Structure 1
Amino acid sequence: MTTDLAPANNSAQDLSLLPPAQPIQANSFEQLKNTVEAMQLAARFATEMCKTTAVPDIYRIGSKQNSDRSPDEVIGNAAAAVLYGLELEISPTQALQNIFSVGGKPAIYARTAAALLARKGYRTWTESSTDEAVTVMGTSPDGLVTEASTWTLDRAKKAGYAPTIDEKTGEFRKNKWNKIIGNEKYLSDPQGMLYAKALMEVCRKLAPNLLMGIGDRDDAVVVEDEQSTPRRVPNEARPSSPGVDELRARLGRATSPDASLEVAKPEAPQSDDTQASAPEPETKKPTTAQNRKLSALFERGGLTKDDKNGRRIVFASFFPDRDLGAAPSADETDHVIGELEKIANSGDGDSVLVAFVEDVITNAEQVQQ
């Protein structure tokens, strides 16, 4: 074997193989300038929004999830989400509800991806759905491209998204923090999770240019977000699947899909003639001044006095699991007034408040569907 090297040839012909130096385009500077200005505006918007309860825990200053993060870091994350939202044509308030970070990359929920494609004329639908497998299909606006995706519980296990059993211990595999590896929602709501995976895959196949570099919640294996429950895809005529029942049983979950939704009813107190029951504390009703102030804020947000249902939806959005028909208390009314005032004061005019109200009502309508 020879170790001789070929003599160097410095001819112009050989050097032309190297890429020529390209001058920086003028529009690149303009794009950077616009991005910096947008980031500054997004940070101003996030500074006020992150102080409210109208954002998820990941973007709320002082939340348990952000106990080890400074306010500036939380605001920076929220501002980045707003910027990514603008690129995806999502409003700032919607971006804070639907965009989050996974491993340094922006991620969105499957339902958000489907909504983005629907705006462009794409169609998606569920072809079949059981606890073991879900198939979703979709077509391009012109109908020339059709894509399909089937996600099964076995596929989710192989991908590391669903919990699996350790053959040595007979228990679910756990990480070094003694937490179950995988998303436990595959056990409590397998159809909803499999639907989300299949839907997201179809969206990526149909429009990779729209979702370039965008992940989903399972890219982090487990994303703790109590404020966003995966959509449940019902299947009315199906027996409970043995494989899923076994997984549920190991976690102490209900075998019947309906049993997990049942709420235990409190036992009726037994009458005791010898002892009078203690009177329940009286709930303080909102004052006339509070009602007028709240009504004025609703008006500024675009909700007239006749739009009673819209007002109930926005009011209830500040309290998890609140019944829309429940009568508001003085404390609740005062809290909502404070939050709406913060939102209204976070921008010029009432545009931010109007956008917030529209987003809340839109989200509520999507959940009802």
Structure 2
Amino acid sequence: MTELTQYQQPNEVALPSIIQTAAKDMNGAMTVANGIVGTSFVPQHFRGKPEEAAAAILYGATLGFDPLTSLQQLYSIGGKPALYSRAMVAVVLSKGHRIWTVEDSPDSVTVAGQRKGSDNVEQITWTIERAKTAGYTSNKNYQRDPHAMLYARASGDVARRIAPDALLGLAYSAEELQLGEGEGTVSTQRVTADQFVKPDPAPTAETKGQDELRAAIQGDTGEAPSDAQLRKMFAVLKENGLEGRDEALGYVAETIGRPIESRNELTRQEVSKVLDSFTPAPEEN
């Protein structure tokens, strides 16, 4: 009887460690989500939705993303997570695999990939004709930038083919869902070809850590800026009358020569370039 009484006590039943860890992580993710879902650095579909944001943060952590990167790159479509193809490529590269562009023309894009330690090379080609056959050409996202969508399909297909384990079995990219595949739809910003990762075909060292992963996602191999460097940049922008987010990002984009949507896209070298733009040139003797 004593043994039965002890067995029925709920407090004495130990939860599996994986559940305990998940509960702890969820509490942490909710704390972060509540702190940022009201900011302009979070995409509109996560604004005011801390539970959705926390789930994305948890899932992104399994892929190696920090919270803000998770919210920028992950989408929930019909209850299934989806990533932009450029993010898929970044994850695969961070695991030491290779992906490179073989052909890149207005009407055809060929992307190849090689799994680390394998001699086999996977190659995928998407052409305008193939897109027509698939029924993509009537989609407004395809019509806006067909070349970018061809690259997205080719690079996403290669990434999933050579390293499905690195991507945790993701079934779709956000671009595929934009074109009408999968379950449901996703509302996203325009994706341009310049935003995609285009690695050199020559072998590169395996990237490590969040800085390299974030840089790969943004298509730049530069080192990520420190928090102190970013604080200094925004302080200087404010001192020079650029207090609004749009004004500040507009000035930064003009200075570094490429469009950006958040400070997370900047490299250390680009932040230095912005700071240098406010430094008076030395007077000539």
Same fold (TM over 0.5): yes
Aligned-partner Cα distance in 1 for 2:63–2:40: 24
Structure 1 residue 209 displacement after superposition:
1.2
Q: Deviations over 1:165-213 (max 9, x none)?
A: xxxxxxxxxxxxxxxxx3x232231111100110000001100112233
Call closer, same or farther: CA 1:150–1:58 in 2, change over 3 Å: same
**Counterpart residue number, 2:149:** 193
Structure 1 residue 325 displacement after superposition:
7.6
Could you tell me which of 235, 245, 254 is aligned with 1:318? 245
**Counterpart residue number, 2:259:** none
**Counterpart residue number, 1:345:** none
**Counterpart residue number, 1:361:** 266
Partner letter of residue 41 of structure 2?
A
Instruction: Judge conservation of contact 1:114–1:199 (CA < 8 Å) in 2.
Output: yes
Partner letter of residue 105 of structure 2?
T
Could you tell me which of 109, 117, 128 is aligned with 1:134? 109
Aligned-partner Cα distance in 2 for 1:100–1:116: 16
Partner letter of residue 224 of structure 1?
S
Aligned-partner Cα distance in 2 for 1:364–1:124: 25
Instruction: Judge conservation of contact 2:95–2:166 (CA < 8 Å) in 1.
Output: no
Could you tell me which of 209, 216, 222 is aligned with 2:173? 216
Could you tell me which of 58, 83, 101 is aligned with 2:45? 58
Aligned-partner Cα distance in 2 for 1:125–1:316: 40
Call closer, same or farther: CA 1:317–1:127 in 2, change over 3 Å: farther
Structure 1 residue 224 displacement after superposition:
2.1
Aligned counterparts, 1:281-360, within 5 A: 301-303=227-229, 308=233, 318-319=245-246, 322-324=250-252, 359-360=264-265
**Counterpart residue number, 2:191:** 229
The answer to which structure has the higher helix fraction is: 2
Structure 2 gap segments, 5+ residues each? 1-12, 197-224, 256-261, 271-285
Q: Deviations over 1:85-108 (max 9, x none)?
A: 011111111101111111110011
Aligned counterparts, 1:57-206, within 5 A: 57-61=44-48, 74-163=49-138, 182=139, 184-206=140-162
**Counterpart residue number, 1:33:** 20
Instruction: Judge conservation of contact 2:61–2:67 (CA < 8 Å) in 1.
Output: yes
Partner letter of residue 30 of structure 2?
A
**Counterpart residue number, 2:277:** none
Instruction: Judge conservation of contact 1:196–1:230 (CA < 8 Å) in 2.
Output: no
Call closer, same or farther: CA 1:43–1:83 in 2, change over 3 Å: same
> Alignment partner of 1:141: what SS?
coil
**TM-score in terms of structure 1 length:** 0.50
Superposed CA RMSD in Å reads 3.6
Partner letter of residue 165 of structure 2?
N
Instruction: Judge conservation of contact 2:86–2:195 (CA < 8 Å) in 1.
Output: no
Instruction: Judge conservation of contact 1:123–1:141 (CA < 8 Å) in 2.
Output: yes
Structure 1 residue 126 displacement after superposition:
1.1
Structure 1 gap segments, 5+ residues each? 1-25, 62-73, 164-181, 235-298, 328-355
Call closer, same or farther: CA 1:303–1:27 in 2, change over 3 Å: farther
Aligned-partner Cα distance in 1 for 2:33–2:177: 25
Structure 1 residue 123 displacement after superposition:
1.5
**Counterpart residue number, 1:179:** none
